[in-house]
Structure 1
Amino acid sequence: MFFMETKRFIIVVLGALLNAVSLNLFLIGANVYASGFAGAAQLVSSIFTDFFGIGVSTGVLLLLFNIPVAIIGWLKVGKGFTIYSIVSVICTTVFLSIIPIYSVSNDIILNAVFGGLIGGAGVGLTLKWGASTGGMDIVAMILSRKSDKPLGIYFLSLNAVITAMAGILYEPENALYTLVALYVSTRLIDAIHTRHEKVTAMIITKKAAELQKAIHYRMVRGITILPAKGAYSNEDKSMLYLVITRYELYDLEKVINDVDPHAFTNIVQTAGIFGFFRKS
């Protein structure tokens, strides 16, 4: 358990570092905007600097924007998810203040593409390990869990406002290049995270009742329990059969390790389901 949480923490910090690198080395210098609240903070920072002559750090604005969303995430998504999301936002803010703003290339297309790739990798990795980079990640996660559509769709929709503002306040080209960065990042997020894909878990355990109770407490998923017998040991066991989303795989693994670390679990891809599948 300690090893898993340590690995999760390292992944979250790595995701924050990738987001900061994407912003300070590629996007900010090219006036191309990132996805989510990072892009919103970047845009507001540019507005304060260019129109009011007030220098406000992107990292500080990112931290402020995430306070109300963190409260929503705590109530709607989960405490562990939100705590790691807060860690991600704080680390991103720190990295943004440490890494200098520098344009790696003068080619705006290269900045948009590589900025989108690096930022999308940061968000995707963070989401895959049961956390988020804050802001729109949490909003998109809540919407995705309710409708069962890919996260990338919500990122692209929610970021349309950033694209429009970039085109209105600055050059129209900035909006187009921002759209390129957003498209690249959302495609990579879906490729890494694949939250919309469902999988079937078959868990062989001697602690069916305890495991069922823990899964229902943590995930609110329907479970079918079947009798099973070990062919080698000839012991009576039970098989818990349930369909979950890939987003919930981390939570399921954690529950199994907590309740019955000796359980045998098989995860298979689910091509489709018919009937009731609870989305929250």
Structure 2
Amino acid sequence: MVLDQTKKLLIVIIGALLNAAGLNLFLIPADVYASGFTGVAQLLSSVIVQYAPFYISTGTLLFLLNIPVGILGWLKVGKSFTVYSILSVALTTMFMGILPETSLSHDILLNAVFGGVISAVGIGLTLKYGASTGGLDIVAMVLAKWKDKPVGTYFFILNGIIILTAGLLQGWEKALYTLVTLYVTTRVIDAIHTRHMKLTAMIVTKKADEIKEAIYGKMVRGITTVPAKGAFTNEQKEMMIIVITRYELYDLEKIVKEVDPKAFTNIVQTTGIFGFFRKD
């Protein structure tokens, strides 16, 4: 347990550092915006600089935006997930205060691509190890636990607002470069972890009862079991089918590896669900 938590903490620190580096060294100097709450923080910081007599950094605004979301996550999602999410945001804010806002290149396209890639690697690693970078991830978890809402719609709307506002504030060329950053970020996160909100896991194992008990002890999910038989070995097994959110993938992988390292697990995208999913 201590080793697992230490590894997760280390990944959160590395992810926050990469996210801050992508912002301070590439995106912010080039006036290219990131996705989600980070992009909103960038926009607010730009507006404040232009129209207010004071300055608030992007990192500070990012932390302030995540405070009400963090409280919501603490109440509705769970303490562990929310603590690591807020810790990730706090570390990102700290690293953004330490790293200088300096451009490594004057080419806007290079800034858009490399900034998106570096930030996405940090975000993807954080998600892969069962944490998040706050913001819309916590909102998505709340919606997943409350109702089966199309979270992707909210991501699309918010990112659309970011692109539109970027065009109005910085010119439509910058808005197009922002679109490039959003695309690159999504593709890299998808390669490292997954961008799909819901996933179906099919687990073929000889220890179905033990895995079921371990899953029920960690998450509230329905499981369907189907008799299975190895074609080569003729061994009798069971195939467990379970639908999860992307934030539960790390916990499920850890449970299966601990209980039955020889189990075969196939993770596929779930495009839709009909019927009971979960209500806490």
Report TM bin, short chain: 0.7 to 0.9
Give a deviation string over 1:168-198, Cα, whole Å, max 9, x none: 1222222111111111111222222224442
Q: CA offsets, 1:101-129, max 9 Å, x none?
A: 00010001110111111111211211121
- In 1, Cα distance between equivalents of 2:202 and 2:6: 27
1:78 shift after superposition: 2.7
Q: Aligned partners of 1:242, 1:75: CA distance in 2, in Å?
A: 29
Is the 2:131–2:247 contact (alpha carbons within 8 Å) kept by the matching residues of 1? no
State the one-letter code of the partner of 2:200: K
> For 1:69 and 1:121, how far apart are their aligned partners in 2?
23
Alignment of 1:266 onto 2:264: yes
Alpha-carbon separation, structure 2, partners of 1:42 and 1:51: 14
Q: Could you tell me which residue of structure 1 aligns to residue 180 of structure 2?
A: 180
Match of 1:243 in 2: 242
1: CA distance between counterparts of 2:226 and 2:176?
A: 55
Query: What residue number does 1:198 align with?
Result: 200
In structure 2, the CA distance between the partners of 1:162 and 1:144, relative to structure 1 (3 Å rule), is farther
CA distance 1:49–1:270, change in 2 (3 Å): closer
Contact residue 89 and residue 134 of structure 2 kept, 8 A: yes
Contact 1:140 1:155 in 2 (8 A): no
How far 1:255 sits from its partner (Å)?
A: 4.7
Matched AA of 2:170: Y
Q: 1:221 touches 1:242 (CA, 8 Å); kept in 2?
A: no
Structure 1 222/44 Cα, relative in aligned 2: closer, same or farther at 3 Å?
Answer: same
Cα distance 1:3–1:243, how it changes in 2: closer, same or farther (>3 A)? same
Deviation per CA, 1:55-102: give whole Å up to 9, x if none: 112111111100111122223433221111011011101100000000
Which aligned pairs between 1:142-161 and structure 2 lie closer than 5 A?
142=142, 155-161=155-161
Q: CA deviation at 1:142?
A: 4.7
Q: CA RMSD in A?
A: 3.2
1:223 matched to which residue of 2?
Answer: 223
Q: For residue 241 of structure 1, give the secondary structure of its aligned residue in structure 2.
A: strand
Paired residue secondary structure (1:199): strand
Contact 2:204 2:237 in 1 (8 A): no
Moved over 3 A (4+): 140-149, 151-157, 202-208, 211-214, 224-228, 237-240, 244-247, 253-257, 260-265, 269-277
Percent sequence identity is 52
The verdict on how the C-alpha distance between 1:268 and 1:247 changes in structure 2, with shifts beyond 3 A counting, is same
Structure 2 Cα separation of the partners of residues 275 and 96 of structure 1: 43
Amino acid at match of 1:72: L
Structure 2's unaligned 5+ residue stretches are 229-235
| CA distance 1:206–1:20, shift in 2 (3 Å) | closer
Q: What is the number of equivalent residue pairs in this alignment?
A: 267
Q: Which amino acid aligns with 1:101?
A: E
* Contact residue 208 and residue 240 of structure 2 kept, 8 A: no
Residue 101 of structure 1 is matched in structure 2 by: 101
Question: For residues 197 and 38 of structure 1, do their structure 2 counterparts lie closer, same or farther at Cα, with a shift above 3 Å needed?
Answer: same
Q: Does 1:71 align with 2:71?
A: yes
Task: Name the counterpart of 1:231.
Answer: none
SS at match of 2:263: strand
Work out whether residues 215 and 252 of structure 2, in 8 Å CA contact, stay in contact via their aligned partners in 1: yes
Q: Give TM-score scaled by structure 1 length.
A: 0.81
Residue in 2 that maps onto 1:278: 277
Give secondary structure in 2 for the equivalent of 1:166.
Answer: helix
How far residue 199 of structure 1 moved from its aligned partner, in angstroms, is 2.2
Q: Is the 8 A contact 2:88 2:132 kept in 1?
A: yes
